[in-house]
Amino acid sequence: MKIVITGGAGFIGCNFVRKMLDTRPDSEIVVLDKLTYAGRKENLADVSDRISFIKGDICSKEDVARIGDCDLLFNFAAETHVDRSITDAGVFVRTDVIGTHTLLEHAQNHEVSRFVQVSTDEVYGSIRIGFSREGDPMSPSSPYSASKSGAEMLVQAYHTTYGLDTIITRSSNNFGPYQYPEKLIPVLILRAMQNQSLPIYGNGLNVRDWIYVMDNCDGIACAAEKGKNGGIYNIGGGNERTNLEIARTILQILGKPETLIRFVEDRPGHDLRYALDCSRMRELGWKPHYPFMDAIKQTCAWYAKNREWYSPLLAAV
């Protein structure tokens, strides 16, 4: 089997590459990645001899053509950081929407057996009570979540119009090894390790459901293998925490004082809460395996042990 993973040098993508190498050792794994600031070949250094790597842009038909025929195509490639989407929405529309369209055209023309679009719970928008279900309307708040919603609609259209076999996964907030230090948890870990202040938006009471990246990778693999053609699947960790709770937990693990917490001006359009109903995934036999506290401790330890990996990135923190 030939498996193509776009964005495979990024955070979730590189962990998914390792998942595929472990569970499908006889498959040919091809990674297509543009190697932007968050996609780094260093993320695949330990497995580089076991994969084929193509440096390319998913928006380029010529680059995408280089992947050729394949059985499974997983699209992890995306611009993902909400803050960046607020200051430069155009690049998100280009990569997340136009790039997905380019991949869908390739999948249709090369008879790809299954196209898996990796998306986000942010397409639902903020939810004060209850849990978002796959049939709920999308209500994106940021240019980032709007671009991911647009990409999903294209995937669904190619399924309905052309009969392309598709799966969409919507995951909650990921954390774990290799996450670029612009997202909340790696920023807080690295700043705390250096005794720097921990910036928290607003009052810190915005709630996210956190999932360890390997649990998400397991869920994506499960949906790809067992999911219904055209299906959409929520993948959440069931770990609702406020941003302030996350900061306090990291400080406790690292033995740092809470006086490092600093509240800053809130982000425009900052959603209050995301939470997912994952019943469909549980019907497929999936459930998260990593307890939150164990996973966050493992993540802190990973960054502490991998200074060579994060040192060139400290300017971003």
Which residues are annotated as catalytic?
Answer: 121-122, 144
Query: Which H helix or E strand runs over 80?
Result: none
Distance, CA of 85 to CA of 144 (rounded, Å): 5
Distance, CA of 125 to CA of 195 (rounded, Å): 34
Distance, CA of 4 to CA of 66 (rounded, Å): 11
Distance, CA of 296 to CA of 241 (rounded, Å): 12
User: Helices 292-305 and 243-254, interaxial angle, to 10°?
Assistant: 60
Residue with tokens 């995951």: 171
- On whether the CB atoms of residues 175 and 210 are closer than 8 A, the answer is yes
Alpha-helical (H) ranges within the chain are 11-23, 61-65, 82-87, 89-92, 99-109, 143-162, 184-193, 213-226, 243-254, 279-283, 292-305, 307-310
